[in-house]
Structures are given as structure tokens and as C-alpha cells.
């Protein structure tokens, strides 16, 4: 399981010109699920994200966890893109929808995260803070 995490001032998901999720300050998580992932990876990813210390403390150091801030989590199978044999990405390592969707929902539930719409064509609006972008794999 992979995640691209961005510290954000705000983030939103729009589907068919309708806003379906929005958060204020917190983190936007683009979550990729591989064909080899299962409940253990979902649990570990949620724990890692909830404890990730990417917010500034009173001294201006990245030392605080999420706390009362919000999370917007969007399923992102393209994190498992493979371009090793050309310029058109292949996605053979990405989990099929029937495996990925329940794991995505489990991570979001554990984090009490706002969600995108699984499998939908989405517009994701991210207003980065920092910018701070972290790659996580479990």
C-alpha cells in the first residue's frame, strides 16, 4: 500500500461538477492499493497516517501529528503505474476494484477521513501548505 500525503490548507473532491467532500487544514491522502495488500496493510497505513508528525509545533518544527485536523482520502490506483517497458503506464500491480474498495474504505474509516468516490472520475483540489509532500509505503 502506498500513499502520497500532502499537508493542506484545504482540499476538496468534485464529481460531475458537484462537490462531494471538502476539508480545511489537515492532510490530503492519495491512497494506492496493490494486488498483494490486505487488512494488515490497511491497519498499518491508517496507524502510520494518524501518527504522522508533519504539522508545525509552537517552535515552527514539523513535530505535531494530525490532532483535530481533517483528512481527505482519495483512492489512487495510478500510484502503482509501471513505465519500465515504455511510456504508457501499466497497472498490473494495482489491486482490482473488488479488492481495493473495501481496503480503501477500511483505511478511511479508521482515520475518520472524508472520502472521494471510489472508481469515479474526480477533480481533486488541493491547496498545499508548506509545501509538504510525503511518500509512505507499508
Task: Say which of 6, 55, 68, 77 is annotated catalytic.
Answer: 77
Rounded mean pLDDT of 43-66? 96
Q: How does strand 62-64 pair with strand 55-56? A: antiparallel
Q: Could you give the number of structural domains in the chain?
A: 1
Point out the catalytic residue in the list 6, 55, 76, 123: 76
Active site residue 76: yes
Q: What is the CATH number of the domain that holds 107?
A: 3.50.80.10
Range of the domain at 96: 2-137
Select which of 78, 83, 123, 133 is catalytic. 78
Rounded to whole angstroms, how far apart are CA atoms 114 and 18? 15
Confidence of residue 120 (pLDDT cuts 50, 70, 90): very high
- Over residues 84-95, the mean pLDDT reads 95
Cβ(50)–Cβ(70) below 8 Å: no
Of 11-15, 64-68, 132-136, give the lowest mean pLDDT range: 64-68
Active site residue 133: no
Closest by Cα among 26, 82, 16 to 54: 26
- Kind and range of the H or E element at 47? helix 39-51
Question: What's 77's DSSP letter?
Answer: G
Averaged pLDDT for residues 56-85? 95
Amino acid at each position: 500500500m502506498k500513499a502520497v500525503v500532502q499537508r493542506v490548507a484545504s482540499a476538496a473532491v468534485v464529481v460531475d461538477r458537484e462537490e462531494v467532500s471538502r476539508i480545511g487544514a489537515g492532510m490530503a491522502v492519495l491512497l494506492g492499493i496493490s494486488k498483494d495488500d490486505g487488512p494488515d496493510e490497511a491497519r498499518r497505513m491508517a496507524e502510520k497516517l494518524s501518527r504522522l508528525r508533519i504539522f508545525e509545533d509552537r517552535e515552527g518544527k514539523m513535530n505535531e501529528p494530525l490532532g483535530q485536523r481533517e483528512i481527505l482520502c482519495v483512492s489512487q490506483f495510478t500510484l502503482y503505474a509501471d513505465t519500465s517497458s515504455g511510456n504508457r503506464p501499466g497497472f498490473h500491480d494495482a489491486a482490482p476494484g473488488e479488492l481495493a474498495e473495501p481496503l480503501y474504505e477500511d483505511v478511511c474509516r479508521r482515520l475518520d477521513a472524508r472520502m472521494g468516490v471510489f472508481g469515479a472520475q474526480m477533480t481533486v483540489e488541493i491547496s498545499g501548505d508548506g509545501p509538504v509532500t510525503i511518500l509512505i509505503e507499508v
